Amino acid sequence: MTVHDELKATIDSLVDGRRGILAADESSGTIAKRFSAVGVESTETNRRDYRAALLSSEGLGDFICGVILFEETLGQSDRGGTPLPEVAAAQGILPGIKVDKGKGPLPGAEGDMITYGLDGLIERLREYKAQGARFAKWREVYPVSAHNPTELGLTANAEMLARYAAVCQSEGVVPIVEPEVLMDGNHSLERSATVNEQVWSSVFHALNRHGVILELMLLKPSMVTPGAELPSAEPQEVAEYTLRSLRRSVPAAVPSINFLSGGQGPEEATENLNALNQLNNAPWQLSFSYGRALQQPALATWHGKLENIEMAQRALVKRACMNHLAMLGKYRDSLEGEG
């Protein structure tokens, strides 16, 4: 099988019109905060047991096609000795891997950030692939202020995403390109739309410069929402602004847009995805790659207790199912049916 064939086979599995991607790649610091909120210590054993429980949730593969794992998880096995990537694969869920190494300030562009991790990426990708990873994810973040992102911030972050994506494709690993425009702040819906368009346009110019094959990658962007200090916009507004901005800046060759939740609550993220798909005029699959918006109900149910695992798994599968329905534009219909 050629590298191109490998990439195409992975894309075909990740873009099927009905399933999304579970983001379970929280860094050690992030998962420690989330565990602390439910009274659980962030030990290696607890992280393994929690993620093993997520991946073995009965029926999860009906609604989830891929899972982004943290490096630690990729090398772990469940209590029965089965490697966690195999636990996922047994449900028809492709294992993926977060490959960036976190962010820091971008010198010369006050207020902007840059992500690290290109050094040694080829060697790491080969190791991850040997462990079962079929796709990868790299995140760049864009704070919004009166002067951010700067022109340097846009260019530098786009270059990092493009270099990462090109390396992934050279190794037969599908890249998920994640330019996250942060919700932090008091920026308006209009300002958010402008920034997202600037970000996406700069990213695709860079991807083209580096010869990235657009048909063999996924985009994981923010939705266009107002800053978190302002009231939330209605789902119809979010959908209209998001789709308009995407049409202005993202080529139709990209097979799927898998939105991040970016601070939205579980129901809010699903409502907004549903509204996007109800517009029913996008050239891309509009899907999800949620972390907290999928996991939060499960984590709150689990509380680190063995006797709660099945209930937590059901909570995860329910949220995955709701987002599956949102991909079809039928989430509201399901709620009305429950009523």
- In tens digits, the chain (339 residues) has pLDDT values of 899 999 999 999 999 999 999 999 999 899 999 999 999 999 999 999 999 999 999 999 999 999 999 999 999 999 999 999 999 999 999 999 999 999 999 999 999 999 999 999 999 999 999 999 999 999 999 999 999 999 999 999 999 999 999 999 999 999 999 999 999 999 999 999 999 999 999 999 999 999 999 999 999 999 999 999 999 999 999 999 999 999 999 999 999 999 999 889 999 999 999 999 999 789 999 999 999 999 999 999 998 898 999 999 999 999 999 999 999 999 977 666 555
pLDDT in the model for residue 264: 93
Active site annotation includes 137: no
Q: List the structure tokens of 206.
A: 């860079």
Cα atoms in the 13 Å half-sphere on the side-chain side of 94: 24
Phi, psi of 121 (to 5 degrees): -65, -40
pLDDT in the model for residue 333: 75
pLDDT in the model for residue 300: 93
Asked if residues 99 and 164 have their Cβ atoms less than 8 Å apart, the reply is yes
Asked if residues 164 and 100 have their Cβ atoms less than 8 Å apart, the reply is yes
C-alpha of 71 from chain center? 16
Asked if residues 239 and 279 have their Cβ atoms less than 8 Å apart, the reply is yes
CATH 3.40.50.740 matches 3-338: no
Active site annotation includes 305: no
Asked if residues 56 and 313 have their Cβ atoms less than 8 Å apart, the reply is yes
pLDDT in the model for residue 336: 61
Q: List the structure tokens of 26.
A: 């929280």
Which residue out of 71, 171, 197, 220 is catalytically annotated? 220
Which residue out of 178, 197, 240, 271 is catalytically annotated? 178
Q: List the structure tokens of 112.
A: 């902007």
Asked if residues 326 and 274 have their Cβ atoms less than 8 Å apart, the reply is yes
How many residues belong to the chain?
Answer: 339
